[in-house]
Amino acid sequence: MKNPRIKVNFNRQAQGATRFFMRHSLVPILLCIFWNCSGSQRFEQWKNEKPDVSSVYILRPARVAQSLFSFRIELYRYEGSFKSDKRILVGNLSLDSGEYKLLDLEPGFYQLKCRDVEKIFFAKQSTRQFLSLELFNTGVFTLPELVIQELDAEKALRLLLEGNRMYSVTETSDSGK
């Protein structure tokens, strides 16, 4: 026997939650589409060497242990030899996990500084150099240590192409010139 006073509405569009999701389902779809169309550039091939500058690749390989930290890096150029303490800030940059930055530097001595770690290197004319920033755990209950390493071309290419390839940082650095 059917009670005439009880009416069950099976029209889901009239219910609040379903109406909300039907109206706002377009927003997540558009976000997913535009998120995948971002302007980041993945590594494809080496840039051509320029005869009067040195191409320096600063790499931050994608590692699970390093993915939470963003590294702020300062690059200094020494006037003359690195034994003199006269240095000029060339630029600041920030690298996240899986990113790299290509710098075209004039020949000379440079210092790469990240946190309390420093690396002095000589940028040779018309050459490619590769520097890698990595965290290493020395023990179970110790904090990881940051290490800046010079790499050969084969190992650097392997890091640039591993997984989904590394992204180029295209932001302009804060120049101290």
| For the chain, domain boundaries | 42-168
Separation of alpha carbons 112 and 59, rounded Å: 12
- Summarize pLDDT for 71-88 with one digit per residue, the tens: 899 999 998 877 877 899
Mean pLDDT, residues 151-159: 87
Share of the chain above pLDDT 70, in %: 63
pLDDT-derived band at 37, boundaries 50, 70, 90: very low
pLDDT of residue 123: 92
| Element containing residue 86 per DSSP (H, E) | none
Q: Is the pLDDT of residue 130 over 60?
A: yes
Please, are residues 78 and 111 in contact by the beta-carbon 8 Å criterion?
A: yes
Q: What's residue 32's pLDDT?
A: 55
Task: Choose which CATH entry (3.30.230, 2.60.40, 3.30.70, 3.30.9) describes domain 42-168.
Answer: 2.60.40
Mean pLDDT confidence for 5-27: 61
pLDDT value of residue 177: 42
Distances (CA, A) of 69 to 56, 110, 112, 135, 156: 22, 24, 18, 10, 21
